[in-house]
Amino acid sequence: MIDRLRTEDHPVLTGLVALVSVGLVVGLVLGGVALGATRFLGIGEDPSAETVSDDVDFYLPKPSPTDGPSGPLITLAPSEDGGESQSQPAEPEESESEEPEQDEITLSAGQTSVGVMENIDLTGVYPGGEGSVLQVQKFASGGWQDFPVTAVVSNETFSTFVQTSFQGVNRFRVVDNDTGTASNEIKVTVG
């Protein structure tokens, strides 16, 4: 009768003891299964035992600076008639004005026309602008306005993409807000 009174007086304590007992039994069973599985799979065996992976060495060379592209990476737009823009390859003229000056940003677009909210790929070159964050701007309401996209210059080049639902001709450029340097503008027809 005394044992019956003790368990009836403390139902929370009785439940807690039962819960701990069940948890202990389940833990022991799961631990035994895990131990058997590790022995069966060979996990945790003697590390001095020879395996195939002992013959493989991992070698990571020291990083060293490399030469980047020698000129600007520019994608040319197709001609108005949709065919080849020139029937004969043009001979490059050797002129100082063709090379972008130090701190001049050159911008190009991967597409000349896209559908609404399709990607417009923007790429360019920014000599001397390593690590700069360029703000994409769109011409609207008579002036250049920041577009919610930026690009980081790495190896003097950058790339990003924009999407817009504004139909018609859209004008974009990028600006280095730290120096105030702006790129050329590009035009893309949307719609």
Please report whether residue 159 resides in a domain.
yes
CATH number at residue 115: 2.60.40.730
Q: Does residue 7 carry a pLDDT above 60?
A: no
Q: Compute the chain's Rg from CA coordinates.
A: 34
Average pLDDT, the chain: 80
Residues above pLDDT 70, as percent of the chain = 70
Please report whether residue 72 resides in a domain.
no
Residues above pLDDT 90, as percent of the chain = 46
Q: Does residue 12 carry a pLDDT above 90?
A: no
184 & 110 share domain: yes
Report d(CA 109, CA 149) in Å as an integer.
Answer: 15
Check residue 37 and give its pLDDT: 84
User: Among 50-54, 63-67, 117-121, which stretch is predicted with the lowest mean pLDDT?
Assistant: 50-54
Report d(CA 173, CA 77) in Å as an integer.
Answer: 16
